[in-house]
Amino acid sequence: MIPIDPNASPSALLELIYRLKVKDIMTGQVKSVEKDTSLREIQRIMRENKVSGVPIVEDGRLVGMISVDDIIRALDQGYIDSPAVVHMSRKLVVLEDDMPVSFAISSFEKYQYGRFPVINRARELVGIVTSRDVTSGLLLEMNRSLEEMERVLNLQASPEPIGQVKRVFLVQQFDYENAGRASTELKKILQDRGVDRALQRKAAVASYELEMNLVNHSLGGRLIFHIDDEKATIEAVDQGPGIPDLAKAMTEGFSTANDWIRSLGFGAGMGLPNTKRVSDEFDLQSTVGKGTQVRAVVHLKPQPGDKP
């Protein structure tokens, strides 16, 4: 019923379902009724409170449950005006409010009930748990945990040194929808830093070629920018398939792109040569079956030996 196996799930999830208690996820302030209440009255309560089960109590102690199935049967067989006590389920499986949520999950699996009443140590009725309570309770708690994780990660990340920018973009294979987004961002950063237009363009060309290589040829990878006052460094790192012949890949006009990629205007065999041409430093490494790493650097301040 709840697609979580309390014995074989990721440890973060297991930690969660053992740490969370039934009282953290249950619906409290349950509408309960005395045992001589008519089934018709209970049907009205279900409708008004939008619940599918009503606990029956005697002096505050839980003695039975009437579910929506019981009401349907009563309507079908014509005893809707009789008191709850005659038709209620008396064999109740209850959960205690201090039990871990893992226990509730196992109970849903084991008993096939839609809901369980929850009692406290004094055996008083304090709530009700449906499978929906479990899933939404877990989702809320996962959200909280993820937020906390993000907050801690942000704290751990060393702050960017002043004047330096680092950006990481995930690039998916064949994702033409987002292709160019990373490079556009790089160009904007350089623009905002007041970098000369010609240098902006060199960096944008290098970045776009590497980005399109990731889209057209890789199994997916990352585009990483490091920018400071001296230079813009663009790294493209992918997870394969790797380039068998680097010399060929660096030859203008050589491409392994298929007709479909070519029809979009890519695959002219100019990507890597173009990147190298606009870069002041260029490094290409590739292992077939592992991946390719390209590093292209555009100097933002002229250095000895730079191309004009």
Partner 1 sequence: MTIADLEHRLGCTPLVPYVEATLAGAYTSDMLSDVMAHAPEDSVLITLQGHKNTVACASLAGVKAIVLAGQREAPDDMLAAATAEGIAVFASSMRQFELSWRVAALLGLGVPPRF
**Smallest distance, Å, CB 193 to partner 1?**
17
Task: Pick between residue 106 and residue 207 the one whose CB is nearest to partner 1.
Answer: 207
CB of 273 to partner 1, least distance (A): 9
- 197 vs 248, beta carbon nearer partner 1: 197
DSSP 3-state of 97: coil
- Measured CA to CA in angstroms, residue 243 lies from 132, 177, 261, 270, 278 at distances of 50, 25, 18, 15, 21
Beta strands in the chain (DSSP E): 27-28, 33-34, 53-58, 61-67, 95-96, 115-119, 125-130, 165-171, 221-227, 231-238, 281-287, 291-299
Beta carbon nearer to partner 1, 65 or 212? 212
Query: Which is closer to partner 1, CB of 106 or CB of 218?
Result: 218
How far apart, in Å, do the first and last CA atoms of the chain sit? 68
Calculated CA dihedral for residues 107, 110, 111, 113, nearest 10 degrees: 60
The 10 Å Cβ neighbour count of residue 53 is 22
Q: Least CB distance from residue 135 to partner 1, whole Å?
A: 36
Please give the residue ranges that form the binding site for partner 1 (CB under 8 A): 176-177, 179-181, 183-184, 187, 197, 201, 204-205, 207-209, 212, 264-266, 268, 270-271, 274, 277
**Nearest-approach distance from CB 226 to partner 1, in angstroms:** 19
Question: Rounded to whole angstroms, what are the CA distances from 273 to 205, 210, 277?
Answer: 11, 11, 6
111 vs 176, beta carbon nearer partner 1: 176
Minimum distance, C-beta of residue 224 to partner 1, in the bound complex (Å)? 18
